[in-house]
Structure 1
Amino acid sequence: MQKELQSNIKSLSLLNLVAVILAGLTALSVYFMYDSLKTIESETKMRYRSYILAEQVRQSSDQLSLMARAYTVTGNSKFLDFFNQILAIRNGEAPRPENYHRVYWDMLMPQSGKAPFPDGEKKALKDMLSSIGITHEEMQQIKLAEKASNDLTKIEYAAFQAVENEAELSLTNERVAAILSLYSDEYFTAKSEIMSHINNFLFMLDYRTEQRLNSVTREHYLISLFSFCCFITILIVLFFISRLRKSLNYLYVSSLEAEVAEKTASLTEKNLQLEESMDLMAKTQKYLMEAEKTAALGRLVVGVAHEVNTPVGICITAVSYLEDENKRMGKVLADKRVSKGSLEKYVHTSEEISLLLHSNLDRLAELITSFKQIAADQHCDELRVIKLDDHLNDIVKSLKSESKHKNIEVVSAIPEGLQVQSFPGTLCQVMTNLLSNAIFHAFDGDFDEPRIEISAKSEGSAVLITVKDNGSGIAEDIQDKIFDPFFTTKRVQKNTGLGLYAVMNLVTQKLKGTITFESSEQLGTTFYLTLPNLNDEQV
């Protein structure tokens, strides 16, 4: 299976590389496709501009004929001025009006006519044609048309001379001859030669720009086709990648299932050992409870029961957490969403719980070995000096799995060397209940950096232990009920409501101390535990 897994991984890597290369080619082709579109747009604009300029070549010839005939017939000098202006604008000797390719001179011919557009820069028509990149052959046609136009102007200037020689407007023979010269066969022949060269220019321009536009369009089509093929190929590669990943997931899940089965078998064996220890402890507790049905029962079946409850509680919590992890991993395996990270996390957690179970089972074995002596001694929870920093740090460690499960940071800040003479088993149960209560109740919902702080200091001959959280706090209307037996806000979660009630009894009756608290909603809760240094007489 491992060889097949490695082979599939290599194939997947190769397909991923192919997909990346194809994606790069597709992106590059899209870029070139966009660039070709811009080229098509540019060529289209250039073709349009070429047509506009070519049309101006024809229009300038027609406008010169129009002004020459108007002046010859009417003798109005403004038409002669228009004639000269048209020549000057065409040759770049006078400013070229803006939008000159539109209707311009027809707007000036009436008596009250005005220029429709303002003047622009001086630009010769030949220079404008050169700027758009016309060929040498095309420019030759323009020059031939210009030469023919110059020949035509000789006929027009001769007619102008005849009009200028007339003192007043009258149809003399010379004036009639001048008018007829502008409608003569010689004039039309010269005009026809001009238009012939312009037609040749237009044909050559149209052919060249059409060829260029067709070439760019064909290039754009080929790039688009290549881009489309790359895209289709990517889809095909992605399809095979998807199939290969499903195969990899199946192989990977099968491998993980085998490993999980092996770990589960090991944990099951540890659970059996734990159950045997718990059965033995339950029998021992039952014996002790029968022996002390009165006062001994109120003190939790002497000190042995207190000492036993701590590792048992830790083991039960660890097993419960392990069961949750097993269920979660089983669901992940069933959904085939398992990943290497989640499995590594599961294995790491299982190893931690196994170590925790080992250490506490060893401790249980040691306690069970001494149960005979404990049963005979009513004061097995011996009064002794407790080093609070070591004792409370051990309690925090024992609850690590619970706090870690809810991402709560538990910090113990106990001064080194601070001691109190009391019952360690009872104190352990009290602190375990207080911390578990904070973990379970204080952090419902989302909290930024949930935190529980444990601190202690000397107050005269006593010690003040503080347990503070930054959780949701206790509602004001239930603050006077939290130490009542069987009171709980989480009955639906099978909470018995005896945790803080047991804490109150143990602190006041066994430890001869006091417990108070302060709480504000959304700001957190602080418990103050005052413990005196006990002596034999007080006990």
Structure 2
Amino acid sequence: MLLFFLSVVFTFLAFVNKEAQEQEIGKNFNLVRLSQELRLSSDQLTMMARAYAATGNPKFKQFFDEILTIRNGTSPRPKHLHRVYWDMLLVKEGQAPFEKEAPKALLTLLLENGVSTDELTMLRNAEDKSEALVSLEREAFELVATGKNQQALKILYSEAYLQSKVHIMTHINAFLERREQDFSSLLASSNKKVKSYYGAAFVCFILLLLSLITLYNSRSAIRKSIIDYLNTEVKSQTEELIEKNKALNHAISELSETQKRLINAEKSATLVRLIPGLAHEINTPIGVAMTASSNQLLLVEGVRQRVNKNEIAKSALLHSIENIESCAKLVVNSTERITGIIDKLKIITNTGFEGEVKPVYLQPLIAHCVSELANQHPHIDITLDIPEALAITAPERLLQQVFQPVIENAFYHAFADNSVRSPCVIISAQASKLGYTIKVTDNGGGIPHEIKDKVFDPFVVGNRTQKGLGLGLSVALAIVTQYFNGVIECETESNSGTCIIIKLPS
């Protein structure tokens, strides 16, 4: 960090000295230009004086005076005076090539550009000598005014005049020589400083580069050792994970076997619960059918014997036929009951979901399910809160087999003890982005605690005196979960009523 800071500092110092050097070069250029302007003004005064003496043209005297006033700072100063200026005005109707600026004396310009005291003394001496020369030129102008042009020219070319010019140029040459020496010395010193600063910055940069290389190599070694350590750790952790994975696979295998055993045990337990109820529900109609069939056979045999003996009367024959017909009806009813049980079992076992899929409007469907129950139970208040446009796309028979047993349970079982003064059943339905929610709520006595968790099991009823086989909610559960992939829930509290909630996805 220190080497980097030193590199920046030395580079900055080199730039600062380089900029100072450029400023000195500009200063030297301006001072040399202004000293040359002093020399040029002296030559221009001489030229204008001699031209006036030779021609008597007052224009040259006017230019002479203007050159003096510009140099002394009493007249506006033309811009770029060091370039060609007066030669452009000598011709007839000549035009100034540059615009004029504010008046400023030549010595003032020299001071503004940083001329030293010694150098200013040299240039002031040159200007004083030039002013002394002006006196001779004024003397020549007086002779021209009296028509003595030749005498005026003799003065302007006299030894005294030329000697004064030599004195002027001697001081200007001394200034230029001094300026050249000072500038060369300053430039050499500045170049030496710039080179030393650049050299120091370069050395610091090289040292910084070497330090970075050393640091990089050391960091590479550290990184390599870290990578080796991490590789060792990863290898160790990998081996440990492999062992744990083997143990996990073994545990999963054992868990799978245990799960299979539990499933088989649950199936056996389900069969144990299902078979007695199923046997009871099927044995009853079978027993009735067998008894009725036996009676039919006895009645038929009795009729046959009496017919063979010609001992049967018409009235007795008709009575026997009526008895046989009654027995046949018992057989048919028992058979239909067994068929109904089998159909519901097919739905529970996911084999009875046939039907035409179409949009089914819930309001008329549920109203149809409720209509007959409302006639049978006029004392129960019924409220339907179902939007008219709400429709579910599914087989209508399956939807009816879902809602019918749920609604029947509310009418048949919720108010069985007649303890509720104002019994009511509320059926509501609503649709959302997630699907449909249908609720069947009653204010009855609630589901008994001992069967609350078994209401969706087959052949579960409150008691055998109540209506139904105990398959309705099992069928509804099978259709909702297996066909619709939905949810059916039961919320109940003793003496606070029951709410069956059916949720079907869109």
How high is the TM-score relative to the length of structure 2? 0.54
Partner Cα separation in structure 2 for residue 281 and residue 190 of structure 1? 126
Q: Read off the aligned partner of 1:180 and give its amino acid letter.
A: K
Could you tell me how far 1:35 is from its partner in structure 2? Answer: 2.4
Could you tell me how far 1:69 is from its partner in structure 2? Answer: 0.3
Q: Read off the aligned partner of 2:129 and give its amino acid letter.
A: A
Q: Does 1:48 align with 2:4?
A: no
Could you tell me how far 1:192 is from its partner in structure 2? Answer: 0.6
Partner Cα separation in structure 1 for residue 210 and residue 435 of structure 2? 68
* Count of residues in correspondence between the two structures: 301
Any conservation in 2 of the 1:512–1:531 contact (CA below 8 Å)?
A: no
- Unaligned stretches of 5+ residues in structure 1: 1-19, 167-173, 289-303, 306-370, 383-453, 463-507, 517-527
Say which of 479, 485, 505 aligns to 1:512.
479
3-state SS of paired residue (1:460): strand
Q: Does 1:161 align with 2:124?
A: no
2:64 alignment partner in structure 1: 83
Could you tell me how far 1:26 is from its partner in structure 2? Answer: 2.3
String of CA shifts for 1:271-311, please: whole Å, max 9, x gaps: 222122233345567x76xxxxxxxxxxxxxxx45xxxxxx
Q: Closer, same or farther in 2 for the Cα pair 1:534/1:155, shift >3 Å?
A: closer
Any conservation in 2 of the 1:461–1:532 contact (CA below 8 Å)?
A: no
Partner Cα separation in structure 2 for residue 270 and residue 380 of structure 1? 41
Q: Closer, same or farther in 2 for the Cα pair 1:534/1:128, shift >3 Å?
A: closer
* 1:172-183 matches, cutoff 5 A: 174-183=148-157
Q: Closer, same or farther in 2 for the Cα pair 1:66/1:41, shift >3 Å?
A: same
Could you tell me how far 1:198 is from its partner in structure 2? Answer: 0.5
| Structure 1 stretches of at least 4 aligned residues deviating more than 6 Å after TM superposition | 379-382, 454-457
> Larger Rg: 1 or 2?
2
Q: Does 1:126 align with 2:82?
A: no
Any conservation in 1 of the 2:477–2:488 contact (CA below 8 Å)?
A: no
Could you tell me how far 1:514 is from its partner in structure 2? Answer: 5.2
Could you tell me how far 1:263 is from its partner in structure 2? Answer: 3.1
Partner Cα separation in structure 2 for residue 379 and residue 245 of structure 1? 73
Query: In terms of mean alpha carbon deviation, does 32-41 or 134-143 score higher?
Result: 32-41
1:184 alignment partner in structure 2: 158
Q: Read off the aligned partner of 1:100 and give its amino acid letter.
A: L
Could you tell me how far 1:134 is from its partner in structure 2? Answer: 1.2
3-state SS of paired residue (1:103): coil
Partner Cα separation in structure 2 for residue 269 and residue 26 of structure 1? 58
Q: Does 1:232 align with 2:206?
A: yes
Any conservation in 1 of the 2:27–2:114 contact (CA below 8 Å)?
A: no
2:486 alignment partner in structure 1: 530
Could you tell me how far 1:62 is from its partner in structure 2? Answer: 0.3
Say which of 84, 89, 100 aligns to 1:108.
89
String of CA shifts for 1:90-128, please: whole Å, max 9, x gaps: 111111111111111111111221111111111111111
Q: Closer, same or farther in 2 for the Cα pair 1:254/1:510, shift >3 Å?
A: farther
1:6 alignment partner in structure 2: none
Could you tell me how far 1:221 is from its partner in structure 2? Answer: 1.7
2:186 alignment partner in structure 1: 212
Say which of 5, 9, 13 aligns to 1:28.
9
1:64 alignment partner in structure 2: 45
Could you tell me how far 1:159 is from its partner in structure 2? Answer: 0.9
Partner Cα separation in structure 2 for residue 51 and residue 59 of structure 1? 12
2:387 alignment partner in structure 1: none
* 1:208-287 matches, cutoff 5 A: 208-283=182-257
Partner Cα separation in structure 2 for residue 30 and residue 513 of structure 1? 84
Could you tell me how far 1:529 is from its partner in structure 2? Answer: 4.5
Partner Cα separation in structure 1 for residue 143 and residue 434 of structure 2? 123
Partner Cα separation in structure 1 for residue 108 and residue 20 of structure 2? 24
* 1:82-481 matches, cutoff 5 A: 82-166=63-147, 174-283=148-257, 304=262, 373-374=265-266, 376-378=268-270, 459-460=438-439
- Unaligned stretches of 5+ residues in structure 2: 275-432, 442-474, 492-506
Any conservation in 2 of the 1:72–1:179 contact (CA below 8 Å)?
A: yes
Q: Closer, same or farther in 2 for the Cα pair 1:200/1:515, shift >3 Å?
A: farther
Any conservation in 2 of the 1:374–1:380 contact (CA below 8 Å)?
A: no
When the two chains are superposed, the root-mean-square deviation of aligned CA atoms in Å is 3.3
Any conservation in 1 of the 2:50–2:156 contact (CA below 8 Å)?
A: yes
Q: Read off the aligned partner of 1:128 and give its amino acid letter.
A: L
Partner Cα separation in structure 2 for residue 267 and residue 119 of structure 1? 94
Q: Closer, same or farther in 2 for the Cα pair 1:53/1:262, shift >3 Å?
A: same
String of CA shifts for 1:204-250, please: whole Å, max 9, x gaps: 11222232233222222222222222222222111111111111112
Any conservation in 2 of the 1:29–1:223 contact (CA below 8 Å)?
A: yes
Q: Read off the aligned partner of 1:188 and give its amino acid letter.
A: L
Partner Cα separation in structure 1 for residue 89 and residue 145 of structure 2? 22
Partner Cα separation in structure 2 for residue 147 and residue 514 of structure 1? 122
What percent identity do the matched residue pairs reach?
A: 31
2:278 alignment partner in structure 1: none
3-state SS of paired residue (2:198): helix
Q: Read off the aligned partner of 1:149 and give its amino acid letter.
A: S
String of CA shifts for 1:45-84, please: whole Å, max 9, x gaps: 1111111111101101100000000000000111111111
3-state SS of paired residue (1:459): strand
3-state SS of paired residue (1:532): strand
Any conservation in 1 of the 2:35–2:123 contact (CA below 8 Å)?
A: no
Any conservation in 2 of the 1:75–1:163 contact (CA below 8 Å)?
A: yes
